[in-house]
Amino acid sequence: MVIQDNGGSVEILGGSGNRKSVIGEGTKKNWLIRSGSATGKVSLQPDGGSIAFGGGAGQMPSYANFGSNMEWFIRSGKPEGSVTVQDNGGKIVFGGGNGLHPSMANSGDTFDWMIRSGKKEGKVRIQDTGGEIVLLGGEEAHSSHIGFGAGKDWFIRSGKSSGRVVLQDNGGLISFGGGSGLRSSHASEGATSDWNIRSGKATGKVVLQHGGGQIQFLGGGAIEPSYAGYGDTEDWIINSGQATGKVKIQTKGGVTSVGGDMEVAKDLKLGGHLFLTTGAGGGTTLESRLEMETRMTEMSQMYEAKMEDMSKMLSEYMRVTKE
């Protein structure tokens, strides 16, 4: 049966308050397919079979209910084309139903995106076959990057130079390194939120300010800071936090070596002996040296007294001899 092969439109339904559908409407011969009532439905292939949209004449078709799994393929007709969804506003929902969590685009007044797995034990994967992920950016914000360049580097930035990157501000452990037999470092560890900074291996190093610059320990409020690399001569200044505090060195024993001169502004108290070393590696205690010098002084004084007595005796002898 051929209908309107010489032109003209074909109307289906309509009348008695029903909406009509039209085939070949207007100069572009549009098709308007609708149910007779606003509460009705238009059903296509309700008993199975795929539905193709577009295609032909070098265009790529889209499909609904394609193949044994009834898959949907949504494509633009050409590779340079686009598929537009909800461009006049409205929420887009992905997944959900039957106890599954839905994801949403353009949700609420601020058009939020909520991306989640269908179940709590599920995962959301992004770029799992490679490629870079960019966060923020644009004309007014710094971008962060995940999987950047050949080394798949991460660059974490605040959107503004005056902004911050905040980690675990509600509590929780932060771990650095570790895995594959390496030691990890931790921030906010345990009940007192300790920091535990270490090299990955026991033979490794933790390097601070290796290109120069000052390191400060403590400080703030009424606490006295200590410094490493302070000022033009990179001085070390070791202070107790309070004026009544102490700086203790080698409290469990061990040798403390001082390679240069030592200046002491106030009293120096020693719990043991003070040794005076010699170039050959030997040495005596300061007490022994002082005792020896005291005896030498006493012997020198005795010698001088004896010599003075002998000088007087000799003078007397010479005087008597002359008489």
pLDDT tops 80 at residue 272 = no
Determine the average pLDDT of the residues in 256-264: 88
Lowest mean pLDDT among 22-31, 227-236, 244-253, 270-279: 270-279
Helix, coil or strand: residue 59: strand
Is 286:294 a contact under the CB 8 Å cutoff? no
Least confident of 27-41, 112-126, 175-189, 309-323: 309-323
The yes-or-no verdict on residue 286 having pLDDT over 80 is no
Residue 185, C-beta contacts closer than 8 angstroms, at least 6 positions apart: 175, 176, 177, 178, 195, 196, 197, 198
Tens digit of pLDDT for each residue in 45-88? 999 999 999 998 899 999 999 999 999 999 999 999 999 999 99
210: left (phi over 0), alpha (psi -120 to 50) or beta: alpha
Strands across the sheet with 133-136, in order? 133-136, 143-148, 153-155
Mean pLDDT of 38-51: 95
Cα torsion angle, 302, 304, 309, 310, sign:
positive
- Pick from 117, 155, 157: which is nearest to 133 by CA? 155
> Which backbone phi and psi does 315 adopt, to 5 degrees?
-65, -40
The predicted structure's pLDDT at residue 314? 84
Above 90 in pLDDT, residue 288? Answer: no
Per-residue pLDDT band at 1 (split at 50, 70, 90): confident
Mean pLDDT of the chain: 91
Question: Is residue 257 predicted with pLDDT exceeding 70?
Answer: yes
- For the chain, what is the total number of helices (H) and then of strands (E)? 1, 20
The pLDDT score that the predictor gives to residue 280 is 61
pLDDT in tens, 152-206: 999 999 999 999 999 999 999 999 999 999 999 999 999 999 999 999 999 999 9
β-sheet with 18-25: strand ranges across: 10-15, 18-25, 30-32
Per-residue pLDDT at 297: 81
Task: Give the separation between CA 111 and CA 107, rounded to whole angstroms.
Answer: 4
Handedness of CA 248, 252, 258, 262 (dihedral sign): positive
Model's pTM, two decimal places? 0.67
pLDDT recorded at residue 283 = 65
Q: DSSP alpha helices (H): ranges in the chain?
A: 286-322
